[in-house]
A and B are shown apart, each in its own frame.
Chain A
Amino acid sequence: MAAPTTSAPAPRTRPARAAVSTVRQALRLTRTEFTLFHRYRMALYVAVLPAVFLLPLFSTEPAEVLPGVDAAALALTQFFAMAAMTVGVVHVSNVYAARREQLVLKRMRVSGVTPAALFGATTLSVLGVVVLQSAAVVAFMGAGLDALPVDPVLLVLSIVLVTVVMSLLGAALTRFARNAESAQMMAMVPFLVLLAASGFFIPLEVLPEPVALVLGFLPMVPAIELAKSAYFGYDLFSGTADAVPATGPDLWIAAAPSLLVLAVWVALVAYLLRFFQWDPRGAR
C-alpha cells in the first residue's frame, strides 16, 4: 500500500456538480418513508391507534346536535386531528430518535441531504398516512351517516396544517430523548397533554372560560374546530351551543383565527428544529 511520503498524486479536476434540489430529495425520501412505514410493524400499530379512540362513538344512540348533524358524525370529525397527532408525535419521535441513535440522520446529512428534505419527507409521509386514514373516515361517514364535507378545501387545509405541526413537533421533541426507548416514553407526555386538551374527553364548554381560552391556543382545539366546521358547514368556533350555519367566505372568515393559530404553530415547531440534534453525541 502507500509508502509514507509527502508527495501526493495530482488532484483530478472535477466538473462542478450542483447538489440535488431539496424538493427532489424530499420527494425521493418520501418514497422511502412509505416503504419503511410499511416495513415498521410498530408504525402500522400506531396508524390504527386513532381508530381505537373512536370505537366508543359507535355505541352512542343517534341524536341530532345541530340541524342535520348527528352527534356521532360530529364526534367522528375529531379523528382527523387525532390521527395527525398520533402518527405525527408518537411515530415520528420514535423513528427519529432511533435514526439518530443509529447515525442514519447524520449519514444523510453528511451525504448532502438537507434538513428541509429530511423533515419535509417525514411530514409528507405522515401526511400521506393521515390523508388515507381521513379518506377512510370520510368514506365511512358518507356511506354510513350520509355526511360529506361541506367545505372540503378547508377540511383538507386543516388536516394539512395540523399534520405538519404534529410531524415537526414529533421530530423536535427528540431533542429531549436520549434514545429510541426514552423517546417512546417521552412522546406519551405531549400526546396525553394534547389529547386531554383537545376537547375530546372534556368538552371545552364545561371548562372555565380562561382554561378554554388557553386550550384554544394549543394546536388540537383549532384543528378539531376547523374540521367540524368545514365538514358540516357551521361556525362551531364558539362551541356547539352557539353554532350558526356558515359556508363560503363566511366560514373562512370565522375559521381565520384557528388557521392563524395553526400557522403560528407551524412556524414555532419549524423554529424549534433549529435545535435538532443530528447524532447521539449532541452534534447539530
Chain B
Amino acid sequence: MTTTQSDTAISVRELRQAYGDFEAVRGISFTVSPGELFALLGTNGAGKTTTIETLEGFRRPTGGSVRVFGVDPFGQPAALRPRVNAVLQHSGVFEELTVAETIELARDLAADPLGTDAVLETVSLADKAGVAVRQLSGGQKRRLDLGLAILTRPEVLFLDEPTTGMDPEMRRETWRIIGDQVADGVAVLLTTHYLEEAERLADRLAIMHRGEVRVEGTLAGVVAERGDRIGFRLPDRVRSEDLPRLPGAELAIDVREGVPWAVYTVTGAEVASRAHRALGPLLAWAQERGTTLERLELRGASLEDVFLAVADGSLSEIPGN
C-alpha cells in the first residue's frame, strides 16, 4: 500500500484566525505542492506563525479552511502525524538529554525513522552526540531541531525561522539540507526574516502584512513589479529637466548626503534586459555632453524592495502572479 500523493500538499483558502476581537489572519489563500518550497514572509506580527500553527493543527480556523493532503489538521490530526513535521520558532527539546539521547527518543517515537548516525551526519552534529543539549550553541540547537524534523521522513515540513542564530556558513549548509528535502519531493512551508534565504530557497513566496497576503508569486514575478534603479550624483550645472528620458524609466530627484541625486526607476516586462536598455542611452547622453556620472550605480530590483514597500504600506495590492 502506498500513500496517495495529491497535487496539492498544503491548501489554505480564505483562512481567518482571530484572538478575541483581534484578527491576526484575514482571509489568506495559498497552496504548496509536493517538491515545492513556499516562503511566507512578513513583518513581526504579520500572522505567519499563526498560519503555521493552524496548519500544524494547533488552532481551529475562525474562518476559511486549511487542508494538508486534503485532511483537516485540527479535526483529524492523527491522520497526518506520520506525514508532517516541523521546526518550531525556537528549540523544543529536553535540555537535560544529550544530543544522541534526543535523537534516539525521537526515533523511538516515530514510524520508520532515519538512523541516528545518518541524522547526526546530515546536521553535522556527530561530534556533539554525547553533549547535553543545553551546552549547544543556538545555531547547533537549530540544527538539532532540523535533524529531528527530517528524522521522521515527513512529506510536509513547516520551518518557522529555521536558521535563526546560525552563522553564515551553518546557514548555507542548512539551506543545502532544506534544498535536498525539496528535491526529494517534500512540500516545505518556510517562514524567515532572512530575505536572502527566501531568495535562495523559495519556488514561490508570499509577503504578509497585518494578517493579509499583500504579494504572492514567484521571486521573479514579485520582483518584476518593482523597478531596477539607476542612480548617480546630479552633475554640476545640470538641471533635472536637462536629463535624458530613458526607455521605460521614471526619473526622480533625491537628496543623499546633502547633494541632489538623479534616480531612474526602470520597469518593464523583460526584467533581464530592461536596465541594460535604459543604461545605454544614459551613457551616450553623458558622453555626448562630456559629463561624468559620478558614483553611478545600478541596482536590480530585489525582494527587499518589495518587502519594504509592503511593510511601509506603499504596496498594498497583490500584483499579478
A interface residue numbers (CB < 8 A to B): 1-2, 4-6, 8-20, 25, 28-29, 32, 35-36, 39-40, 102-114, 278-279, 281-284
A and B contact pairs by CB, cutoff 8 A, 21 listed: A1-B179, A2-B37, A6-B36, A6-B204, A8-B203, A9-B183, A10-B35, A18-B111, A19-B78, A19-B81, A20-B110, A29-B105, A40-B96, A103-B89, A103-B90, A103-B92, A108-B109, A110-B86, A111-B152, A112-B111, A279-B53
Q: Check B166 for interface membership: any CB of A closer than 8 A.
A: no
Assess whether A103 is in contact with B88, with CB atoms less than 8 Å apart: yes
Closest to B6 in A: A11
* Chain A neighbourhood of B82, CB < 8 A: 17-19, 112
Q: Check B97 for interface membership: any CB of A closer than 8 A.
A: yes
- Given the interface contacts A8-B33, A103-B89, A106-B92, does A13 sit within 8 Å of B182 by beta carbon? no
Shortest beta-carbon distance from B272 to chain A in Å: 13
How many angstroms between the C-alpha atoms of A10 and B199 in the bound complex? 22
Closest to A37 in B: B96
Q: Check B112 for interface membership: any CB of A closer than 8 A.
A: yes
Q: How many A-B residue pairs have CB under 8 A?
A: 151
How many angstroms between the C-alpha atoms of A109 and B93 in the bound complex? 12
Assess whether B148 is in contact with A107, with CB atoms less than 8 Å apart: yes
Assess whether B93 is in contact with A283, with CB atoms less than 8 Å apart: no
Chain B contributes a number of interface residues (CB within 8 A of A) equal to: 63
- Given the interface contacts A9-B185, A103-B88, A111-B152, does A36 sit within 8 Å of B96 by beta carbon? yes
Assess whether A12 is in contact with B185, with CB atoms less than 8 Å apart: yes
The residue in A12, A18, A106, A110 that gathers the most chain B C-beta atoms within 10 A of its C-beta is A110
Q: Check B200 for interface membership: any CB of A closer than 8 A.
A: yes
- Given the interface contacts A4-B218, A278-B58, does A39 sit within 8 Å of B84 by beta carbon? no
Assess whether B5 is in contact with A13, with CB atoms less than 8 Å apart: yes
Assess whether A14 is in contact with B110, with CB atoms less than 8 Å apart: no
Assess whether A112 is in contact with B182, with CB atoms less than 8 Å apart: no
How many angstroms between the C-alpha atoms of A11 and B176 in the bound complex? 18
B interface residue numbers (CB < 8 A to A): 1-3, 5, 19, 33-37, 49, 53, 56, 58-59, 78, 81-86, 88-97, 101, 105-106, 108-112, 145, 148-149, 152-153, 155, 158, 175-176, 179, 182-185, 199-204, 218-220
Across the interface, B92 reaches (CB within 8 A) one of A4, A9, A32, A102, namely A102
Assess whether B1 is in contact with A4, with CB atoms less than 8 Å apart: no
- Given the interface contacts A1-B201, A112-B109, does A14 sit within 8 Å of B3 by beta carbon? yes
- Given the interface contacts A114-B78, A279-B58, A283-B53, does A1 sit within 8 Å of B175 by beta carbon? yes
Known A111-B85, A112-B82; 6 more pairs at CB < 8 Å? A4-B202, A17-B83, A19-B81, A36-B96, A111-B109, A111-B148
* Chain B neighbourhood of A114, CB < 8 A: 78
Assess whether B200 is in contact with A284, with CB atoms less than 8 Å apart: no
* Chain B neighbourhood of A284, CB < 8 A: 58-59
How many angstroms between the C-alpha atoms of A12 and B90 in the bound complex? 29
Assess whether B97 is in contact with A110, with CB atoms less than 8 Å apart: no
* Chain B neighbourhood of A111, CB < 8 A: 85, 106, 109-110, 148-149, 152
- Given the interface contacts A111-B85, A279-B58, does A6 sit within 8 Å of B111 by beta carbon? no
Closest to A114 in B: B78
* Chain B neighbourhood of A102, CB < 8 A: 90-92, 95
How many angstroms between the C-alpha atoms of A16 and B85 in the bound complex? 16
How many angstroms between the C-alpha atoms of A281 and B83 in the bound complex? 25
The 9 closest A-B pairs by CB, nearest first: A107-B92, A11-B34, A103-B92, A283-B58, A112-B81, A8-B35, A4-B219, A12-B185, A11-B185
Across the interface, A29 reaches (CB within 8 A) one of B109, B149, B199, namely B109
- Given the interface contacts A4-B203, A4-B219, A278-B58, does A14 sit within 8 Å of B153 by beta carbon? yes
Closest to B7 in A: A11
How many angstroms between the C-alpha atoms of A114 and B57 in the bound complex? 13
